[in-house]
Structure 1
Amino acid sequence: MTTQDMTPQSSTTDNTSIVAAAFAALTETGDVDAVARVLDEDFVHHRPDGTSRTKAEWLAAVRGSLEHIDGMEVTVLHLLADGNHVMLHSRRRLPSGPEITVVDIMRFETGRIAEAWELIEPTAEAGAHLTWWA
């Protein structure tokens, strides 16, 4: 599927395809517009620290980080959908940085991504984080 073929649909399969194509276009070629096209105008991006960004704020941050993701290796571990939610679980490694594990959860509304939550953890630190409750 090319980014030109991406048209918002409402089915779970289409939502998964939309996420896969937009994520591939972003990470492989830096095509931020491929992501922008599938975001709802009222899109909100949430982080674990409680901060949120609007569509314009989040896209500006992504555009500002393009030089840092150039050459990033990405392994998609899971791409799952349930109703209007899609979850992308991946491992990412920058040429000069640590490997990170990322979980993105996206909620679709009227065929577009309306909300997204992102969790990022340095993979090497995961073991230490398993004991936080001890």
Structure 2
Amino acid sequence: MRHVTGRKRNEVEIRQEALGIPSMHQSVAYVFQYIPFTDQIARVSVHITRWHPSLASTSAQCETHFYDAINKCSETDLSASYGSFISDLRSGCGELRTYAQLLHQKDVVARALIRHLNDVDSASLVTLLQ
């Protein structure tokens, strides 16, 4: 049996042809397809909260009620004295989301609360007592 090129085929080429495998002498269709960069990026699935858990902001995702109260009061009490209290907390503690963080920084939190509660002219006494 002769191939189109006129040369004699060996057993390997006959088996490859039976299995649908192209031989070296046949042209192969290009298997890979160009996909634009924007389409490749669109296929990537990224959940930002999985990579940055500090962005979680609901009560279910935060462990302490203290953190929720601080955030709630930050929106309602815009006085300078409350802003000073928040800046004291952030400069001394950093973040207070979890019970572990709150317990670790309990002395700094207590000092900041006592300092700002002792200020009788403070406009945020009610907020701090909550």
TM-score interval (norm. to shorter):
under 0.3
TM-score, with length taken from structure 1: 0.24
Give the number of the structure with larger relative contact order, counting CA–CA contacts within 8 Å between residues 6 or more apart: 1
TM-score, with length taken from structure 2: 0.25
Larger radius of gyration: 2
Flag the structure with higher strand content. 1
Flag the structure with higher helix content. 2
